[in-house]
Structure 1
Amino acid sequence: MAAEPQVPHAAPGTRRAALEVILRHQHPGGAYPACPTFEVYGYSWFRDGAFIAEGADRAGAEDSARAFHQWCARVLTSRAGRIENIVATLRSGGTPASGEWLPARYTLEGDDEGDTGWWNFQLDGYGTWLHLLVAHLRRRSADPAPYREAARLACDYLAASWNTPCFDWWEEDSHRRHGATLASIEAGLRAAADAGLVQGDTAARAVAAADEVAATVRREGVRNGHLTKWMDGTGAVDAGLLSALTPFGLVDDDLAAGTLAAVERDLLHEGGVHRYLEDTFYGGGRWPVLSALLGWHYARTGRPGDARRLLHWIDGQFTDGGLLPEQAPEGRRLAPEREAEWVDRWGPNATPLLWSHGMYLILADELGELDSAPA
């Protein structure tokens, strides 16, 4: 990683304030809105929310994290019949209709959002939730009993559906299978089984499916020594693939090193990380979420100085009001000529993005740089 200008530490209390933004906007039922001020992000995603809860939990807000995980469990158990019908259809060789799949996001009350015309079939969130739920239960030595039924439903759903093309982390490319999605599914299934959160036939199916996912990624999702964005033989990389390294741990050291090198080469610029080279969303800027994800991996693999530089880059993205955006408001754009069309369509860059806040807290915790925070 090239040397970068030193960015001062955030002012005392900034990391506590980052947590307070999350707590302030959490719904009484436990859901986290992706962005409370950005109309089309007024929903709760399992993926975003699981990372937000992880950050809050690490920063001392155990009750907030527990409330989110309980919300997820209610969402799933209230759809038990629907999930079991999907699983039965898949096991019999059929394909559920497009409207039958579980959505990626829900209203803050836990309802389906209705027909908005916006893409909504993704699988990654359920795997991410299982993986980070297990992390929460272990961290807090918490009783897994309230989550067992929801975990069973999630594992059966993922074990039956994992090879189905769906939208990726970015709500794009619905006709493909994605490396980052498969990494989250493998990690969630394996974590639930290894922790004893699911047992018996469900655990056996979860482990078998996790093994199949890992084998598929190695067979179809690797090129030139690195993971690829899609399972289609092309060599494109996506920064979401960093999750396959940390926290999901899908790949061995050599493949992890090759993937890291490809992301650093193509997508890292002065502390900020782009999603992928062809990105045009809001001009294709750099994402604090992804800088924190990269820093998390650095911190876990003996590169604390590099991780700290990324944390300090994120420090520099806070607004004067202490909010983190979805994309860095200044600096490099991959497609600057495309920024205005998104501003015209949806307004300014989503701020605060609670996922950015959650990932920031995770990285700060990995580096031992969290301030004291409310318990």
Structure 2
Amino acid sequence: MNLLERSIEIIEANQSKHGSYIASPNFSQYGYCWFRDGSFVAHAMEKAGREESSARFIRWGLNVLKRYRDSLQKATAGNVTLDNFLPTRYTMEGFYSEDNWTNAQSDGYGTFLWVAAQRPELLDQSDCEICDMTAKYLERVWKVPCYDVWEESPNMVHTSTLLSIAAGLKAIEGIINRKTVWRDIMDFILKELTSDGRLKKSNTADEVDSSLIWASYPYGLLDGDSLLIKKTARTVMSELYFDGGLKRYKKDTYYGGGSWVLLSAYLAGHLKSNGERDISEEIEAWIERKADLNGFLPEQVPENLLEERMYAPWVEKWGEIASPLLWSHAAYIDMLLQ
């Protein structure tokens, strides 16, 4: 099986007629499109030469933003709290999801601007205007604590969230023809969100999180050869890397704290971009071994569990681990085409 071709097929088969990408078609909780996940998927499909798929997602996202223009304006103008954050998860049709699940995150909007800016030829004047409005929203909310990429810890300012916002604001400047505050955000990260010469998880958590690798890859905000990123990557690998797979963070208990395909792939992309091929090839081989007979890549693999006693309760609550996860396939594509 050619897993690259199969990954592209799986993503295309699970893109809705509206342009949205479902997070996972076989997992009860993931029947939505996240701005964050979808943007990473669109980025990978663009790299794979599937420009139409990427364009359809970007158009879907722009239409969502226009549909909720009033909410965007209200959040930008007033005092921003978790109660009036824009949601990062929508139905496949592009509407607010009617459930009680945590939804107040800002990183998805930064990631969306980052991917939309990669296709400037798709954007008309009204698109540029809504991108500018979204940028203003992010400039308003970036210091406000919210749920992180893993939908946890709403009372913290999370480094990976700020990286996503900075990447989006930096990328969109050429589209909206103005400077944004992305440099201020990066200055804040470098001054307030480092510990012992490396990036840290949040303003109150000194440990590392594997999403910190995104500063180097794929966002390219910090030089992968810099001392800060080198020490961040070394710490991530020494604490969270097991036999080809990467954990999210040390205290992870979700499905027992398994090894995440997408995080492993982005680490491999970072290593490849810096000429460190031994471990990147080990990761690539590990990912390919984890594809099932259908070529499905899961969200995580339940091996070397950090908290084994928590695996069964999650299976009982939500069922088996999500598979296929489109973001896992996207990260694999991204890694291979680096």
Counterpart residue number, 1:373: none
Provide Cα deviations, 1:85-104, integer angstroms capped at 9, x if missing partner.
11111xxxx334x4422101
Provide Cα deviations, 1:127-147, integer angstroms capped at 9, x if missing partner.
11111222344xxxx343263
Give the length in aligned residue pairs: 335
Map 1:157-236; keep pairs closer than 5 Å: 157-193=137-173, 196-199=174-177, 203-204=178-179, 206=180, 209-232=181-204, 234-236=205-207
Counterpart residue number, 1:106: 90
Aligned match for 1:67, one of 56, 62, 67: 56
3-state SS of 1:39 partner? coil
Contact map agreement 1:33 1:44 (CA 8 A) in 2? yes
Contact map agreement 1:76 1:150 (CA 8 A) in 2? yes
Query: What letter is aligned with 1:264?
Result: M
Map 1:132-151; keep pairs closer than 5 Å: 132-137=115-120, 142-145=121-124, 147-151=127-131
Query: What letter is aligned with 1:242?
Result: I
Counterpart residue number, 1:323: 296
Output the TM-score relative to the length of structure 1. 0.86
Query: What letter is aligned with 2:176?
Result: V
Matched residues in 1 for 2:133 and 2:282: separation?
A: 41
3-state SS of 1:40 partner? coil
Aligned match for 1:345, one of 309, 317, 335: 317
Q: What RMSD in Å do the two structures reach over aligned CA positions?
A: 1.4
Instruction: State the shift of 1:248 in Å.
Output: 2.0
Contact map agreement 1:267 1:273 (CA 8 A) in 2? yes
Matched residues in 1 for 2:130 and 2:22: separation?
A: 21
Matched residues in 2 for 1:149 and 1:25: separation?
A: 30
Matched residues in 2 for 1:309 and 1:134: separation?
A: 33
Map 1:1-375; keep pairs closer than 5 Å: 11=1, 13-89=2-78, 94-96=79-81, 98-114=82-98, 116-137=99-120, 142-145=121-124, 147-193=127-173, 196-199=174-177, 203-204=178-179, 206=180, 209-232=181-204, 234-251=205-222, 253-329=226-302, 331-366=303-338
Percent identity of paired positions between Structure 1 and Structure 2: 35
Moved over 6 A (4+): none
Contact map agreement 2:80 2:141 (CA 8 A) in 1? no
Would the alpha carbon gap of residues 145 and 304 (structure 1) be closer, same or farther in structure 2, given more than 3 Å must change?
A: farther
Q: Which runs of 5+ in 2 are unaligned?
A: none
Which structure would you say has the larger RCO, counting Cα contacts within 8 Å and 6 or more residues apart? 1
